[in-house]
Amino acid sequence: MDIAALPKTELHLHLDCSLSYDLIHRLNPEVDRATFLRDVALPEKCSDLADFLRRVPNQMNLMQTEDALRATVTDLFTQLQADNVIYAEIRFAPHQHQQQGLSPEDVVRIVNEAFDLESANTGIESRLILCTLRHFTAEAAMETAKLVHLFQGTRVAALDLAADEAGFPIEPQVAAFRYAREHGLFRTAHAGEAKGPESVWETLDRLAPIRIGHGVRSIEDPRLVNHLAENNIHLEVCPACNVMIDVYDRLEDHPIDKLYRAGVPLSINTDGRTLPLITQNLQYQMLADTFGWGDTEFLACARNALKAAFLPDNIRQSLMNRLNQYHVR
Ligand SMILES: [Zn+2]
């Protein structure tokens, strides 16, 4: 198996968790490599999701101008190229980039244009997902849903709910997701990572997302596993990140293989490139070493990802053709 050559996808990747050391050092020369590893990146384990989330502002605070946002997109596409990613859905919360006077709409326009440019430069097909966050007010959540609607037909493809699942209730997010559903917008939501299957059930029931971000703790409820498989509800699984934020002690304990064998449609994703400090090539190698995964599993997951991608069918089909042209080595 030639992991580097395998065509890959990313459905779950946070823009504001993926700045490379080189870009961070360029945007803030005071951050040297030691500081980067101590305060910005997550190279090993942290104590819980809240500890993970505390590190996020260190990258986000650097992404407050048009130039920095554009540089961030270019930097991430370069990293995706190194992993041979053919399709990426990248997410972020536009409301978190207003520190220097940009409006959320400005932010989306800038990032959307940068995606157009970098997709053309690299040949990587891409879409953007806009996040509302668990601690956002109902008003900010609705503004995010309306931005997805406003930019419908561009790279902007979907609404997501992210951030601290265990620390904040779902209620303020419900109306935004209803708006998205009523306007025919794609939707995904984080659940079943910091909390168990009850959170996945609640998210499916209250937000009616098309996919679930993570969802791995669904494994604790066999009825939920069946529900996901029977209703073809896709899980955006981020195994290395789950271990680094200590949802699971070791990769051996991660349920990705069990969920896959149970017929739950799932994909392999990094969640971030710096927080956690990981690449798809590395993560594929870890899955191969731990579960004996090979071309069959990796290509099936890429196929699952394209089936669940927030794309028009003609683009989905052309990417599927690209995947099918890959000859196992
Ligand atoms: Zn995430």
How many whole angstroms from 328 Cα to the centroid of ligand 1? 30
If you search the block for the tokens 């939501």, which residue do you land on? 189
Residues serving a catalytic function are 193
Distance CA 221, CA 229 (A): 13
The model's confidence at residue 231, banded by pLDDT at 50, 70 and 90, is very high
How many whole angstroms from 160 Cα to the centroid of ligand 1? 9
Would you call 12 helix, strand, or coil by DSSP?
strand
How many whole angstroms from 97 Cα to the centroid of ligand 1? 18
Q: Which pLDDT score is estimated for 52?
A: 75
Instruction: State the SS3 of 199-241.
Output: HHHHHHHHHCCCEEEECHHHHHCHHHHHHHHHCCCEEEECHHH
Q: Is a pLDDT exceeding 70 seen at residue 92?
A: yes
How many whole angstroms from 213 Cα to the centroid of ligand 1? 6
What contacts 323, CB < 8 A, 6 or more positions away? Answer: 7, 86, 299, 302, 303, 306
Would you call 277 helix, strand, or coil by DSSP?
strand
CB 122, CB 88: distance < 8 Å: no
How many whole angstroms from 191 Cα to the centroid of ligand 1? 9
How many whole angstroms from 241 Cα to the centroid of ligand 1? 9
Residues 194-209 have a mean pLDDT of: 97
Q: Which amino acid is at 4?
A: A
Q: Which amino acid is at 96?
A: Q
Q: Which has the closest alpha carbon to 87: 326, 294, 240, 310?
A: 310
**8-state DSSP, 5:** G
The model's confidence at residue 327, banded by pLDDT at 50, 70 and 90, is confident
Q: Which pLDDT score is estimated for 9?
A: 98
Q: How far is CA 96 from CA 102, 105, 222, 231, in A?
A: 10, 12, 38, 34
How many whole angstroms from 84 Cα to the centroid of ligand 1? 21
Q: Which two tokens stand for residue 101?
A: 């006077």
The model's confidence at residue 54, banded by pLDDT at 50, 70 and 90, is confident
Residue percentage of the chain with pLDDT more than 70: 98
Q: Which two tokens stand for residue 121?
A: 């430069």
How many whole angstroms from 128 Cα to the centroid of ligand 1? 14
Superfamily of domain 3-324: Metal-dependent hydrolases (3.20.20.140)
Domain ranges in the chain are 3-324
Cα-flanking dihedrals φ and ψ of residue 168, to 5°?
-140, 145
User: Which of 36-45, 72-81, 87-96, 205-214 has the weakest average pLDDT?
Assistant: 36-45
The model's confidence at residue 2, banded by pLDDT at 50, 70 and 90, is very high
Name the average pLDDT for the chain: 96
The model's confidence at residue 37, banded by pLDDT at 50, 70 and 90, is confident
Q: Which amino acid is at 288?
A: A
Q: Is a pLDDT exceeding 70 seen at residue 48?
A: no
